[in-house]
Amino acid sequence: MIELDKNRIPGHIAIIMDGNGRWAKAKGQPRAAGHVQGVEAVRVVTEECVRLGVKYLTLYTFSTENWNRPVEEVKALMELLLKNLEDEIFMKNNVRFRVIGDRYRLPREVQDKISEMEQSTAHNDAMTLVLAISYSARWEIARACRQIYIDMQAPCYSGKTEDDINERFVASYMQTSFMPDPDLLIRTGGEQRISNFLLWQIAYAELYFCDTFWPDFGAEELQRAIADYQNRERRFGKTSEQIKEQA
């Protein structure tokens, strides 16, 4: 157990869950076994985040680029997703469930299950667990631009000019508009890139990369990432002296 400052727990943690396939390969198992074990890691990390007081947890579950994977692997992932979208972990931990991404590319039964879980957990308030499914940041930004263009033609927007399209306005069109931007972005599996994940939202997030494959990422690994976060000074473009004066 790593000692953490309970007053400096990140309010929103985003995770790129990488390494399921390599975990399975290292153990001589099929890639699907890595995804199955990855689900257990999601349970462990979700419960630990609730215990620590994290308010939002966003998990990069399936990117738009993942549709290019072998058909059988995609099918297995969809079946695994459907099987594990159950309310036990959410109701037991008072967790609200949300999804961001192009859900209409998902199988109909997965879409229906997502809607069911979002509705049944809508009043849970300990934490919000967000799955990014069929998601990419560039897709999200392009979608927001298209919708802004359409809306600006509507009569209710008459009188507005290009000066009204500021950062806050654009952010309101993002799929994440219901939650704050991430404070901490974690990527497991040894790679050090963002992979088209929450590009708009992580402008000031602290980045943490570790070699641990996602199926082996547990409560202690999460605590280690948060401890690293707590040892950093978040300046948001200001100087250290300005931060101290505001403290």
Give 225-229 contacts, CB < 8 A, sequence gap 24+: 225/184, 225/186, 226/2, 226/4, 226/9, 226/10, 226/13, 226/52, 226/184, 227/2, 227/3, 227/4, 229/8, 229/10, 229/183, 229/184
Rounded Cα–Cα distance for residues 230 and 2 (Å): 12
Rounded Cα–Cα distance for residues 106 and 241 (Å): 50
Nearest to 57 by CA among 6, 97, 88: 97
Q: Report DSSP state, residue 212.
A: S
Largest CA distance in the chain: 63
Rounded Cα–Cα distance for residues 64 and 136 (Å): 6
The region that residue 71 occupies, defined by phi over 0 for left and psi between -120 and 50 for alpha, beta otherwise, is alpha
Residue 95, beta-bridge partner list:
127
Catalytic residues: 18, 66
